Every structure is written in structure tokens, then in C-alpha cells.
Amino acid sequence: MSASAQAPRAAGPDRPADFLAPAFHKQRRELVRQALSPGSVAVLFAAPVRNRANDVDFTYHQHPDFYYLTGYEEPGAVLVLFKEPQSINGQAGVTEALFVQPRDPKAEQWMGRRLGKEGVQQQLQLQYVADNKNFLKSGIKWAGFSQVHFLPLPTDVRNDAQDPADLYDLVAAFREQAAIPSNFDPSLAQAYKLIQQYGLAGADRLQAYLTGMGSAVVQDPYVQAYLAAKTEAQRKKAIADKPSSRFDTALLDETLDRLREVKTTEELALLRRAVRISAVGQQEVMKHLRPDMGEMEVQGLHEYIYKKYGAEFEGYPSIVGAGNNGCILHYTQNDKPQVKNDLLLMDCGAEYHGYTADVTRTIPPSGKFSPAQRQIYELVLAAQEAGFAACKPGAEFQAPNAAAQQVVAQGLIKLGIITKSDEARRYFPHGTSHYLGLDVHDRGSNGALTAGNVITVEPGIYIPEGSPCDKKWWNIGVRIEDDILITTNGYENLSREAPRTVAEVEAMMAKTSVLDNFKLPDLR
């Protein structure tokens, strides 16, 4: 990362210095503001604090969109973006305003330092910053805006009676001051968006999808008119008759999809580090793994390596499944006491400064694949190679998936596991790719691939016990997943340091690990 991209953002001393710079977030805010409709305003809220149990909360994680636009990592905040400059509390020419939780020495003694208004002004460099309680009576003339743009508001937020400006109060104040109708339903905005995008080309599938979105959607007059249309001409008329509203949750959603799907140089530096950390985790576990180790121990090894390299979190709950557990797509229990000689599927990703990797490797604890394991593994590998070949600018987002699905179907037929291609979905039930970034399943339009996209390519085959095939295939679950940067002329595999081929995996597993001599006392 270049020096200009570094920002020592911290509420206290001795934090890392390679966070995204204030200039990055300012540029993102400006791009969103440019996308706003004339005479409009946009409002975004920080993520809620989530309770784990009793008086213990989960570690706070900022809403990725809010972080993307501000760099602010604390709760109880509101960002307001104005299309045209406004006056707030006597300050003229304001196009962006951030309301944040104030400094509180007593709270900070218990829960950690806060930036406060002064810290945000100094380190995040927004144009207008005030304590969040000021948002309750901000003086913003909401009635004067032609449109009010926002993301779906949180509806399951606790009201802290000790905090007069917590997220519950901030959202309530916004609803009241902007006069948002009590029956406003953001799912309608999503339905309208789908009708506008797929109302003609995907009519059959869309109609079935809309009817499953709930009564509020199905009973809406615009949706009803579309569902009642039987011909293309009728559908065109129904689509064109979209009602207007001052309140909109679609524009911000679409704009952030478009922006976040193309990574900047600064973002790629953080993503590369997250991916490399994850790849080293896969390497070390390969070298150290033994059949008598448990799934949870393996999980701990990955996550220790993440922490060793300064990754704050995992991007998602680690998936470490041996044998039949590896056939559960999102298995996170990870409590099998010994992996034994079953294939071990490890879907793990480090999160570094908000950006997450997503790397999966499947390995034999004995150090050698059995013949049946090897056949399935090499079929998945071939499907992944086909997916890689489809990764190029201009290709449809679903191109890697289509290529991988075809290889898997043909291979399963050849192995005698299925007899027809459409049966392959039993053993390969998921898509091959998703965007990667601030979310493990990151924002994006699912349009044509373009340089700067980072996507996964992750085919898999899962044959649980009891499947209608030869028993020699049972309990084999294989997924191979890599993180792929689309370049101007092709792709780059960011996670290539994690061994992929049978020969590479077995060679890595034959090596010694720095963890081999790590011993803890027995607990008796």
C-alpha cells in the first residue's frame, strides 16, 4: 500500500497504520453523492450492537457500507449526504454530515476509547461532525427534499434507556422528522427493482419469485398489475407504470453494488494481505495435520495464524469438516474429536482491516489421497480450472459457474455416480462464484465481469452417507476455492500460495511445520 493510502486511524495509541486513508472514504462518499437524484438527501446508519447473552454483547462489527463511506468503526452514528449544499447549525455549504457518539470517560473505562467529535474531525476529516444527540434535533429541513434515499432501516434494535441517542433513538428521530410512513416496506423497493431489471427477460422465474416475497409485496397494486400481465406488451405497460415515491431504498443499494464490486488499489492491498494470511494458514495446517487431531484444533490453528499476522477477525465462521461433516455446506460446529483418515474440508478466511479472504482446501489427514478421494478431488480441480478459464473481462458473471457445472456433471456421469446431467445438482448444489471484499459475499451487480472485480471460484462435490451411489463414494466432500482478481486481460489467482493439485497438497503435507513441537500439558 502506498504511503498516501495509509491512515493512522485510532481512538488510542499503538494501532496499525495501514488503514484506508480519509481520502479513500471521501472519494467514495462523493461518488455516492453524485449518484443522488437532484434535490435529494441520503441517510445511512451504523450497525446495531448485537447481544450475545445476558449482559454480554458480540464484538462490534461496523456495517460494511457505513465503514466504506466513513472509516468509522463505532456504533451509534448517522451519515447524511446532501446532493446540494445545505446549512446545518449555522454552517453553510455542507454536503456531508456525520453524527457520532460523544466521548464519555466512564464508558470508555469499561468499553474502550471513543474517537468523539474531535477525533473524527481530526482523523476521518469529514466536512461536518457533531455528537449524535444533535441528530435528534439537527434542523435538517427534510420536507424540502424531493427524495429521501436510505438503506432498509434496522427493525430489531434494542432501546438503551441509559443512552438518549442510541441507534434506536436515531432511527426513530429519522422516521419522525423525515415523515416516513409507518407502513413503508423496503421489500417493495426490492420487488420494484426486480421488475424493472428482469420483468421481460426473466418473467417466468420472476413471477414465481415475487409471489414468494410475502403478502405486502403480492398485494401491492404495481406488483399485482405486473403479475396479471400475460403478454409482453402487457408486461411492458405494467413495468412502465411504476409509482413514484419520496422515499427510496433502491438507489443507494444499486450505487453501492456498482462501487463496491470494483476494488481500488488501496482495497486490493488489504485484500491481498487477507488472502495471503489465509493461504499461509492452509499451508501450515497441511504440514501439521495428523489423523488424531480434532476439527476444533484445526480451526484454532488457522485462526491463530490469522492473529499472528494481525488479522482482527475471521471473515465468517470457520468451516472445518471431516468426512460426512464436509458434506454440510456451512458446517461450523467443528467438534469432531478426531478427523481420522476422512477427507478434511477447510473453508477459512482471515479478515484484515475489514476485508475478508475466502479460501477452501480439502486434504487427506493421512497425507495421501485414497483412490476414490483422488478421483473426486481431481474432478473438482478440473471444474475449477474450467471456471478459471471463464474468468475474463466481459464474460457473464455466471460464466465460471456454467463452465464448472458442466465439468462436474460430465465427470459424475463418467464415474457412474449419476446417469443424467441434471442429477449433478444433488452433489454440487451451490453456485461457483460470489464477489469478495468487505463482506465475504460482497456487494455487486452480477453483471459482466470487469477488471477490479474480486470473485471466488469454488466448485465442490459432496456425497453424504446414504447417497444413491456406490458406497465407496460416501462421506467424501471436496471443495476447492480460490480468490480471483479479474484483470484487464484475464485473471490473477490471489490465493495461489495455498497448494491445489494432488501432488502439491501431498508434497506440502510431507513437510515439517513450525507447529510440530508445540505441546500443551494434558488435562486430567
**Per-residue model confidence (pLDDT) at position 4:** 36
Mean pLDDT for the chain?
94
Grid coordinates of 175: 422516521
Q: Quick one: three-class SS letters along 100-163?
A: ECCCCHHHHHHHCCCCHHHHHHHHCCCCEEEEHHHHHHCCCCHHHCCEEEECCCCCCCCCCCCC
**Per-residue model confidence (pLDDT) at position 40:** 98
Contact 86, 140 (CB under 8 A): yes
**Per-residue model confidence (pLDDT) at position 207:** 87
Q: Helix 232-240 and helix 221-228: axis angle, to 10°? A: 170
How many whole angstroms separate alpha carbon 398 and alpha carbon 381?
18
**Per-residue model confidence (pLDDT) at position 143:** 95
pLDDT in tens, 257-314: 999 999 999 999 999 999 999 999 999 999 999 999 999 999 999 999 999 999 999 9
* pLDDT tier, 157 (very low <50, low <70, confident <90, very high otherwise): very high
Q: What percent of the chain shows pLDDT beyond 70?
A: 98
Q: What percent of the chain shows pLDDT beyond 90?
A: 86
pLDDT in tens, 104-138: 999 999 999 999 999 999 999 999 999 999 999 98
DSSP string of 8-42? Answer: ---SSSS--SBBPPHHHHHHHHHHHHHHSPTTEEE
CATH class of 22-178: alpha beta
503: left (phi over 0), alpha (psi -120 to 50) or beta: alpha
CA distances from 441 to 266, 288, 326, 333, 341 (A): 20, 30, 20, 21, 32
For residue 183, what is the DSSP state? T
Q: Quick one: three-class SS letters along 506-521?
A: HHHHCCCCCCCCCCCC
pLDDT in tens, 332-365: 999 999 999 999 999 999 999 999 999 999 999 9
CATH number for region 262-510:
3.90.230.10
Closest by CA to 461, choosing from 499, 501, 417, is 417
Give whichever of 7-16, 197-206, 218-227 has the largest mean pLDDT. 218-227
CB atoms within 10 A of CB 146: 11
Grid coordinates of 235: 408486461
Question: In degrees rounded to 5, what are phi and psi of residue 150?
Answer: -160, 165
* Dihedral (Cα; 281, 282, 284, 285), 10-degree rounding: 110
Closest by CA to 432, choosing from 368, 499, 358, 518, is 358
Does residue 1 have a pLDDT over 60?
no
Q: Is the pTM of this model over 0.85?
A: yes
Burial of 279: CB neighbours in 10 Å, binned 0-12, 13-18, 19+? buried
Closest by CA to 476, choosing from 465, 484, 468, is 465
**Per-residue model confidence (pLDDT) at position 257:** 97
Domain boundaries, the chain: 22-178, 186-249, 262-510
Q: Quick check: do 22-178 and 262-510 share a fold?
A: no
* pLDDT tier, 193 (very low <50, low <70, confident <90, very high otherwise): confident
CA–chain centroid gap for 436, Å, is 6
